[in-house]
Amino acid sequence: MLASTTAPAAAPAGAPLRIIPVDVDGGTAVLYVTPQGHSLLIDAGWPSGMGGRATPGSPPPPSSAERIVKAAKEAGLSRIDYLLVTHYHVDHVGGVPDLIGMFPVDNIIDHGPNREGASPDLNERQLSYAPATIYPKYLAAIAGKPHRVMKPGDTLRIDDLVITAVDSDREILSKPLPGGGKPGWNCAAQTVDTRFVEEENPRSLGIVATWGKARILSLADTAWEIENKLVCPIDLIGPVDLMFADNHGTDNSGSPQLTNTVKPSVIIFGNGATKGGAGISLERAMASPRIKGMWQLHYATRSPDKNAPADQIANLADGPDAFHPLHIAVDKSGAITVTNPRNNFSKTYPKAN
C-alpha cells in the first residue's frame, strides 16, 4: 500500500470524489481529485503539436499539457500527487514531458519498461512518435521522481480513494476482487479480436477505483484478449458503477464478455471526433445489462446514428473545438453525477442494485 505523502486537509462531510476526463482530442487524461485536494492523473495525452484540430486563421490549439494544467487549476490544485501512465503510446504518454515542465508532479506509476520496438517499415514521422522513441523521453522527464511499477493486485490509497491494479504488462489478477468470483457472461461464446493491437496495448495498466460503495473501472487500451481473461471463465472484477470505455471506444476493444459481466451503470467514452467512438462499441455499451447513461467527450463523426444524446456529448461536431471536459461527481453511496460544462446539463445515476 502506497499512501499519499501529504497530510489531508479538512473536507466537507459527504463531499464527492471529482473525476475530470480532460478533452485531449482522442488521447487520454483523466484527473481524480479527492475532497481533501489530493490528486491522481491517469495519462497525459499527446505531445505539443499533436492532438488538436486547428482552425484556419486561428492560433494553434492548446497542448494536452496546457489543457490538463487548466483543469487542475480550476479544480483548485497546485500540483499532481500521482501520475499513472498506463502504457507508452503517444496519445497517453506523449504529454508527460510537457506536463512535468509546466506543473509540479510528485509521484510516477507505470507498468514497467516499454515492450514495443520500432518496426523497420516506419516512416520518419511514425518513428518520431513510436514508443521506442517516446519512452526514453518519458524516462528523462521523470528522472529523480519517486517511481513505482504496479502489478495486478497492488493497491494505492489516496485519502479514501483506493486504486487496485487489475491488469499490467499482460498479467492479470490472481484472484477475484470483492464482488467478483462468479462465472463471466456467456464465456462459451467469447471470440478473439487481435486487429491493430500493438504490443503496448495489452500491457496497459488497468485499475479498479473504489470510493465508498462506488466502483470505477478504467482499463486504458487493454486489448480484447486481456478483457476476456479478466472475466472468463471467472469474473475477477465484479459489478462496477462507472466504466471508461477501453481504447477510446475503438471496435477492437470493449468485449461483450467484459461489458456484460461488469455491468456498468454509466460508461464514458474518451473519444475524439474521428478517433474511437466506433458504432459497434457505442451499441455494445447501450446493450449492457444495467446501463443507465452513456457520455462522450466528442461527437463521433463516423458513427452519427449511434452517438449519445447531444446533451451528453461535451464537444459537438459543429464549429471550432472548445476543448470541454466532462465533470463527474462520485458519492460514497455509489451514485454518479455527470455534468457537461458545454451546456451545464447534469444527470445523477443512483447506485444500481
Sign of the torsion formed by the C-alpha atoms of 121, 202, 220 and 267: positive
- Residue 53 has a pLDDT of 67
Residue type, 316: L
Question: What is the Cβ-side half-sphere exposure of residue 185, based on CA atoms within 13 angstroms?
Answer: 15
- Residue 7 has a pLDDT of 47
Sign of the torsion formed by the C-alpha atoms of 230, 250, 23 and 140: positive
Helices (H), the chain: 64-74, 90-93, 96-102, 124-128, 131-142, 224-231, 256-262, 279-287
Query: Do the Cβ atoms of 24 and 45 come closer than 8 Å?
Result: yes
Query: Do the Cβ atoms of 107 and 77 come closer than 8 Å?
Result: no
C-alpha to C-alpha distance for 228 and 286, rounded to whole angstroms: 19
- Residue 353 has a pLDDT of 80
All cell numbers assigned to 26:
482522442
Instruction: Read off the pTM.
Output: 0.95
Query: Do the Cβ atoms of 224 and 193 come closer than 8 Å?
Result: yes
- Residue 113 has a pLDDT of 98
Sheet-wide strand order for 80-84 = 147-149, 105-110, 80-84, 39-42, 30-33, 17-21, 327-330, 336-340, 345-349
What secondary structure does DSSP assign to 155-171, as a single string? EEEETTEEEEEEEETTE
C-alpha to C-alpha distance for 243 and 195, rounded to whole angstroms: 23
- Reduced to 3 states (helix: H, G, I; strand: E, B; else coil), residue 147 is strand
Q: How far apart are the first and last CA of the chain?
A: 30
Mean pLDDT by 10 residues, the chain (353 residues): 49 88 96 98 95 71 96 98 98 98 98 92 90 97 98 98 98 98 97 79 97 98 95 98 96 93 98 94 95 97 95 90 95 98 97 89
